[in-house]
A and B are shown apart, each in its own frame.
Chain A
Amino acid sequence: MTPRQCRWVFLVAGAGLVAFYLWGLTALPGFGHYPGPYGPAVLRIAVEQTKATGVVSAVNFDYRGFDTVGEEFILFTAAAGVSVVLRKLREERERSAVDEAADRDVPPTSTAVRTVALLFTGPVVVLGWWLASHAQANPSGGFQGGVVLATAFVLVYLAGEFLVFQRFSPVTLTDAVEAVGAGGFAAVGLVAVLLGLPYLKDYLPLGQMAGAVSSSGTIALISFFVGLEVAAAFILITGELLEQTLLIRRPA
């Protein structure tokens, strides 16, 4: 096919796509006019029923908790996939993370980068922990908190070197934490089944005050496990990428 013909095929197909897209747009509900019954119903009953003022978390971890288990395992599988794809191949060799030529003159990380990274590490850990443990009270949750926690480890890498990152997050420990996080979520749901309730039904005391940290029963617990899983998964993915970039070499 000549380039000219290619262009015609593209133009016809593109015009068709645009036509369907515009046709679809005309049938959309007006801006801000959600037509379904589900949203208003959840907004009316969620706080009273779950004692969580973070209604998004109430939906994610309670009303639609089963969907979230699936998403949790998507991330789990993705992290496993990255580990498999980025493994050391048979003909590749892995260098030691310790500098082989110790007397070499390596330019140190600039003081500015080190200072900023170290200044942020502590607050980022606190912020991540706060986000993951306040899903029931605020617009936050285990996913956001977990990713923020993981970035603290990237800051450690930026401030120091790969060796320090490895010491802070040994792969066996990260693997275990990830498994506990993913398994914990599923186990919280299974306990409900053992109690004779539907899977993932909230069975813990909900607390008296809506939006308190101790409120909302399993919503807070699930958010905690999701935070563990997500933090470990992102640390694992970043670590695998760094290892692949810094240590693994093709044979010369």
Chain B
Amino acid sequence: MSALAAVHTPYTVPVAMMQALQVTLLVLVAAGATAVVLIQDRVRQVLALSVYGVLLALLFLAFQAPDVTLSELTVGAVVLPAVLLITLAKVRKSEE
């Protein structure tokens, strides 16, 4: 079964360039995920998680899922870190 015919637009880039971008982002996402796991300080860990969310969003964009990019940007890079930061503030206050 053949794939859909290739679409050419003014924005079409060579396949090799797209693949290089995808591989770069895959490596960055893996590095980001590792960083989130390895960072000890909780606040820094949340900030790293936010950066990781942005990387993941870019990855989805490079794999042609712009709608998932939007979801990941808002939830993964903004709302989830915000919720975690607020929770950390609560826990810290009750520890004092």
Given contacts A43-B4, A245-B89, contact A150 B67 (CB under 8 A): no
Q: Among A32, A131, A147, which residue has its beta carbon within 8 angstroms of that of B79?
A: A147
**Interface-centre pick from B79, B83, B87, B93 (highest chain A CB count, 10 A):** B79
**Interface-centre pick from B74, B75, B82, B89 (highest chain A CB count, 10 A):** B74
Roughly how many angstroms separate A150 CA and B82 CA in the complex, as a whole number? 12
Roughly how many angstroms separate A244 CA and B86 CA in the complex, as a whole number? 9
In the complex, the chain A residue whose C-beta lies closest to that of B71 is A144
B94 touches A234 (CB 8 A): no
Q: Is A169 an interface residue (CB 8 A)?
A: no
- Give how many A-B residue pairs fall within 8 Å (CB-CB): 51
Q: Among B4, B74, B78, B82, which residue has its beta carbon within 8 angstroms of that of A40?
A: B4
Chain B interface size, under 10 / 10 to 19 / 20 to 34 / 35 or more: 10 to 19
Q: Among B1, B67, B79, which residue has its beta carbon within 8 angstroms of that of A139?
A: B67
Roughly how many angstroms separate A18 CA and B92 CA in the complex, as a whole number? 38
Roughly how many angstroms separate A151 CA and B73 CA in the complex, as a whole number? 12
Chain A interface size, under 10 / 10 to 19 / 20 to 34 / 35 or more: 20 to 34
A234 touches B66 (CB 8 A): no
Residues of B within 8 A of A151 (CB): 74, 78-79
Q: List 20 A-B contacts (CB under 8 A).
A: A33-B3, A40-B4, A56-B67, A139-B70, A140-B70, A144-B70, A147-B71, A147-B75, A147-B78, A147-B79, A148-B70, A151-B74, A151-B79, A154-B82, A234-B79, A241-B90, A245-B86, A245-B89, A245-B90, A245-B93
